[in-house]
Amino acid sequence: MYDQKSAHAEEFIDHQEILDTLAYADAHRRDAAVIGAVLEKARLRKGLDHREASVLLACELEEKNQEIYALAEQIKKDFYGNRIVMFAPLYLSNYCVNGCLYCPYHAKNRHIARKKLTQEEIRAEVIALQDMGHKRLALEAGEDPVNNPLEYILESIRTIYSIRHKNGAIRRVNVNIAALSIDGYRQLKEAGIGTYILFQETYHKESYEKLHPAGPKSNYAYHTEAHDRAMQGGIDDVGLGVLFGLELYRYEFAGLLMHAEHLEAVYGVGPHTISVPRVCPADDIDPGAFDNGISDDIFAKLVACIRVAVPYTGMIVSTREKKEVRERVLHLGISQISGGSRTSVGGYREPEPAEENSAQFDVSDRRSLDEVVRWLMELDYIPSFCTACYREGRTGDRFMSLCKSGQIQNCCLPNALLTLQEYLEDYAADKTKRIGEEMIRRRLSEIGSEKVRAVAEERLKKTKLGQRDLYF
């Protein structure tokens, strides 16, 4: 029985409710009146429930589809402006005891090189990331209680935050690791993490159990309820995601939104981020082995419909996607992207030898961070390295209330410009710096408050003179 506020995974992600939702969406896929009514509700910027959003995803009326795309782009601008937050993944270890059929880290894979970074190796990787210009990391690790215990993750976080190299510093560490107990999440909170991210992979319980035949991750309920335990453990910001291609995309879409609704209903705050990875080639993994792969067009529509349904949530696209796809979805709702990424264990300080191959998946966008930064600015987006909200306590329900009200814009634009100025001074190529300086001059005028604009101008001058980490 579907119960949005239930503590049990099979009740807040109810199989029959999803089937009923898909049937309802099918029945109205060419119903202009129903689709129009949903769009009118979406224009209020208050979000949609899973059934309403599923109607938009199923829509077969081209005119209405164009309205969906236009609305998604406008909502993205309303809540996030033209800013794109930059980050990089850092893989600590690929030791894993799970048997996930879609992941090359699965325990039975004897081809992939198994690696685990020491604290000294982590230090070297972080310095390399700092020298690129990164300020925000997403930590990744396989699930292995012997090789990758929580203590190792906590020690690694302490190491990362301790490193100062030239003007570099990692100011926010997000964590994407296996499901933990409430106490485990309390320890992550005490370590000072930003967002805890955990992908569901698939919300279809039967498929989930087939795809996870062995290991602790095989427990559907424990995995699906992880975000609840994280929030009970004091973590303010959690991130959701599914791996599109494992199950029917419309089923996953409905489940993803039901999960977001559940968190909002129980804790008063929905997901801080939603990620949209697709199955892609990797060692021992052929995406063609999965029957539910989606086209670039469907992928774009998924992004647009998620943005319309949860307008306040950050959306992430990774280097799994090629440049052209990333550019397309930037317009439709994406607010965070990685740049210069490595999906191997290590690989930032020096490229991993081909014969070692520890990567989780093939990277489609192989450009450097500076190339990605310049590309974004050429598209008229502001690359942002800002982490101010986290350090000012603007997290959880406080962040969401500011975001929903639009007040967050008073901080975000000047902070984005300040962090961009830092990047230009410390790391940018000459061409990138020229484009960035011009962008900052133009964008300063868009700060609505004269007082804030004056302070921003003064802090930009201080940044040029060598001060760092100035923010609102």
Q: Which stretches of 163-287 are DSSP H helices?
A: 182-190, 205-211, 220-224, 226-232, 249-267
- Please compute the mean of the pLDDT values over residues 326-341 and round it to a whole number: 95
**Who has greater pLDDT, 322 or 50?**
50
Q: Are 249 and 302 in contact (CB under 8 A)?
A: yes
Domain boundaries, the chain: 9-62, 77-366, 390-464
Q: Are 276 and 244 in contact (CB under 8 A)?
A: yes
Task: Calculate what percentage of the chain has a pLDDT beyond 70.
Answer: 95
C-alpha 75/C-alpha 426 separation (Å) is 33
Question: pLDDT, tens digit, for every residue of 48-58?
Answer: 999 999 999 99
Of 28-37, 179-188, 256-265, 285-294, the range with the lowest mean pLDDT is 285-294
- Please compute the mean of the pLDDT values over residues 163-176 and round it to a whole number: 96
Q: Is the pLDDT of residue 40 over 50?
A: yes
Task: Calculate what percentage of the chain has a pLDDT beyond 90.
Answer: 82
3-state secondary structure of 196: strand
DSSP state of 353: P
DSSP state of 278: B
Measured N-to-C along each axis, helices 150-162 and 182-190 cross at an angle, to the nearest 10 degrees, of: 10
Q: Is the pLDDT of residue 256 over 60?
A: yes
Residue 314 amino acid letter: G
Q: Are 308 and 72 in contact (CB under 8 A)?
A: yes
Q: Is the pLDDT of residue 410 over 80?
A: no
Model pLDDT, residue 283 = 47
C-alpha 247/C-alpha 212 separation (Å) is 14
Nearest Cα neighbor of 448 from 398, 411, 399 is: 411
> How many other CB atoms are found less than 10 A from the CB of residue 379?
12
> Which of 289-303, 344-358, 366-380 is predicted most confidently?
366-380
> How many other CB atoms are found less than 10 A from the CB of residue 184?
19
> Which of 58-72, 337-351, 391-405 is predicted most confidently?
58-72
Measured N-to-C along each axis, helices 119-132 and 150-162 cross at an angle, to the nearest 10 degrees, of: 40
CA angle, residues 191, 193, 194, in degrees to nearest 5:
160
Q: Is the pLDDT of residue 137 over 50?
A: yes
* Residues facing 91 on adjacent strands: 140, 345
Model pLDDT, residue 201 = 95
Q: Is the pLDDT of residue 284 over 70?
A: no
Q: Is the pLDDT of residue 140 over 70?
A: yes
Rounded to the nearest integer, the mean pLDDT of the chain is: 93
Q: Which stretches of 270-408 are DSSP H helices?
A: 296-309, 323-330, 369-378, 388-391, 396-405
Burial 271-309 (b: 16+ CB within 10 A, else e): bbbbbbbbbbebbebeeeebebbbeeeebbbbbbbbbbb
> Which of 97-111, 222-236, 385-399 is predicted most confidently?
222-236
C-alpha 64/C-alpha 68 separation (Å) is 6
Q: Are 157 and 192 in contact (CB under 8 A)?
A: yes
Which is the CATH superfamily of the domain at 77-366?
Aldolase class I (3.20.20.70)
Q: Are 377 and 433 in contact (CB under 8 A)?
A: no
Model pLDDT, residue 355 = 60
pLDDT class of 290 with cuts at 50, 70, 90: low
**Whole-prediction pTM:** 0.93
Strands (E), 11-96: 83-93
Model pLDDT, residue 361 = 55
Question: pLDDT, tens digit, for every residue of 446-456?
Answer: 998 899 999 99
In whole angstroms, what separates CA 7 from the centre of its chain?
Answer: 25
Model pLDDT, residue 280 = 64
> How many other CB atoms are found less than 10 A from the CB of residue 164?
11
Q: Is the pLDDT of residue 14 over 50?
A: yes
CA distances, 249 to each of 2, 100, 227, 295, 362 (Å): 20, 19, 22, 11, 22
